[in-house]
Amino acid sequence: MDKKTITNFSVSLLITAIGFLIPLTSNSQWSSNPNTNLKICDVNGEQALTKITNTSDGGCYISWFDNRLGNYYVYLQRLNSTGIKQFATDGLLISSKPQNTSLVDYDMITDNDDNAVIVFTDIRNGGSINPFAYKINPQGVFLWDTNGVTLSDSFSVYQPNPKVEQTSDGSYVITWIYSSSPSKIAFQKLSSSGVKQWGNDPILLSGSGSENFTYPDLVSSDNGSVIVLWSGYTGSFLNPINYKLYSQKFSSSGSPVWNSTQDTVYHLGNVSGFYVPRIFPDGNNGAFYAWQDDRNSQNLRSSYVQHFTSDGTRLFPLNGASGSTLGGRNHFGPVVDCMQHTNETFMFWKETNTGQSQIGVYGQKFSSNGTPLWSISGKVFKPIDNNGFSSLACYVKDSSVIVYFDESLTGSTNNLIKAFKINCDGVMQWGSSILTASTILSEKIRLAAVLDTSGMSKLSWSDRRQDNGGIYAQNINFNGTLGNPTGIKNKSEIIPKEFHLFQNFPNPFNPVTKIVYAIPNNGEVSLKIYSASGKEIAVVVNEYMQAGYHSIVFDGSELASGVYFCELKTSDYNAAMKMLFIK
């Protein structure tokens, strides 16, 4: 085994990678008190429409719209694994462009290099909202442009609800509603540097004749492709006719993959025009689809799920598998996730009586071909009662499923943030009860939730405990405790699926920066630093290493300001990244 050699510079090997061995110290900001929670931002005015995404260091990004200055602007905060804010106390201002007083939905993801990619709309170019895309690195640096990327030049067309996914080739595909008459679906692909790949104007997908296309969403698939779901109907928005759910896989060049026309997920017609269907990744380059419909014309909605593989093969029954056949009830707003090692699918929904005055949480487990495995009415997790809820999410980890919802209390505007964990048989795991993550009596809106690889849940929501709304957050450890993380593995014990050289942090740096890399196999590893002219500056790593995530701190105290390159090389992989040193 070769010893690590250093040329003129100090490099220290960190024991952990990307901060996944979380120090259980007193400076953790995650609250262990469900009546307090972590305040992300609660300044004058309203903070609303929060989104949350995981980062690889065990932390997260949280975004929101904020009218503290009189108009709705976009803000962003990054938390590390212990809940400590990494940007300004009340958030990093992303955009102060003019915005409608009536907000529409938007999207945010964390990409493979831990950058936040945010897509949203505003009226900076006139009276109609148009979509824009921003990319922010972990240090809060705008990587594309301070004004983002303009996704459409049709400024007079109303274009709401953008959605974004990073593709396997490192690019980004964005889709949104193009509200012409009839309405269409718009697509654009951006390179990692924010350059449009599918022409200056977006690709537009149209229905036949007067058919409207609306509410697109997407997941990433293989070879730089994406799988897209959208709705199609004729008639009016409130009274749609011939309603269908469509899906198509689009290649990295934007061409249809499955067939020359889109496939039909559902074609029985009875869905409300304002309902937004959902698509979820299946973990194997395919997709799950979840929706509600009234296919029996009984003025009652039931929840359904469908599964398409990467090659477009339908695995569940035509027009979807039903979570419950119990009559006299509504089964609203399904969410879905898949347990990979058992090939079982879990779906949860809002169960209500016919008058929707009593609400509960029900669920169903499906086999690999969509056969329900619990009772015909599903399994009861929160019996229907007079308390309602609006937001619902679920995630699978190992042999467990965690479900999150915001419970509204009867006769008031107050909400509680709730969660429960079950095993694969549907048995409650956190003390056989539902956990309350926020007990303070206040109005809470638009709960967002994520579950990271360590098993920690992170929740954010808009909360009116002080005024018109602030943004608050709470973690839940995998064992059901709040606050300081427990039972989290060192990320070096987690084996990555592929090689990756992460962008150094911080960048630009002075004088030290962290370099993180992932290797899926044991083997010889070389990590070197080069000048812009190609001169070797330092041999940082040159040894046999175990598979896992690894991290070093590079000290460039003796460097001159300028651009440098870091190269990771193994027998199976070679990659380089640019680093900027500024004294």
pLDDT of res. 491: 45
Strand partners, 157: none
Whole-angstrom distance, CA of residue 471 vs CA of residue 74: 13
Give the torsion sign (CA, 449, 76, 158, 226).
Answer: negative
Residue 46, CA distances (Å) to 43, 68, 79, 469, 472 in order? 8, 7, 21, 5, 13
143 and 266 part of one domain: yes
CATH code of the domain containing 498: 2.60.40.1930
In a domain, 231, yes or no: yes
Classify residue 259: in a domain, yes or no: yes
- Go through the chain and tell me how many residues it has: 583
Q: Please check whether residue 544 lies inside any domain of the structure.
A: yes
Write out pLDDT tens, residues 384-413: 999 989 999 999 999 999 999 999 999 899
Q: Output the pLDDT for position 28.
A: 52
When pLDDT is cut at 50, 70 and 90, the band that residue 486 belongs to is low
Q: Please indicate, yes or no, if residue 414 is contained in any of the structural domains.
A: no
Query: What is d(CA 150, CA 231) in angstroms, rounded to the nearest whole number?
Result: 25
The 3-state secondary structure of 246-285 reads EEEEECCCCCECCCCCCEEEEEEECCCCCCCCEEEECCCC
Give the contacts of 70 (CB within 8 A, at least 6 positions apart).
Answer: 45
Q: Which of 21-30, 432-441, 537-546 has the lowest mean pLDDT?
A: 21-30
Domain endpoint, select from 276, 291, 316: 276
For residue range 267-322, list pLDDT tens digits in order. 998 998 889 999 999 999 999 999 999 999 999 999 999 999 999 999 999 999 99
Residue 9 has pLDDT above 90, yes or no: no
pLDDT at 380 over 80: yes
Q: Does the pLDDT value for residue 495 go beyond 50?
A: yes
DSSP-assigned beta bridge partners for residue 110: 116
Evaluate whether residue 498 is within a structural domain: yes
pLDDT digits (tens, 9 = 90+) for 314-366: 999 999 999 999 999 999 999 999 999 999 999 999 999 999 999 999 999 99
pLDDT of residue 583: 84
Longest dimension (CA), the chain: 77
Distance separating alpha carbons of residues 360 and 332, to the nearest angstrom: 10
Global pTM value: 0.80
The residue whose two tokens read 């067939």 is: 259
Rg (the chain; Cα; Å)? 24
- Residue 523 covered by a domain: yes
The residue behind tokens 């905060």 is 77
pLDDT at 39 over 80: yes
Find out whether 411 and 388 touch, Cβ atoms under 8 Å: no
User: Is pLDDT of 196 > 60?
Assistant: yes
Domain final residue, candidates 276, 302, 337: 276
Cross-strand partners of 233: 212
In this prediction, residues 165-177 reach a mean pLDDT of 97
pLDDT at residue 548 tops 90:
no
C-beta of residue 417 within 8 angstroms of C-beta of residue 459? yes
- Tell me which of 276, 298, 319 is where a domain ends: 276
**Does 72 have pLDDT greater than 90?**
yes
> In this model, does residue 506 exceed pLDDT 60?
yes
Q: Are 456 and 83 in contact (CB under 8 A)?
A: no
Q: Which is higher by pLDDT, 68 or 485?
A: 68
Number of structural domains in the chain = 2
49 located within any domain: no
Residue 276, Cα to own-chain centre: how many angstroms?
A: 17
Domain that holds residue 267: 128-276
Query: Which pLDDT tens digit goes with each residue over 97-120?
Result: 999 888 999 999 999 999 999 999
Higher-confidence position of 514 and 139: 139
Question: Is residue 467 included in any domain, yes or no?
Answer: no
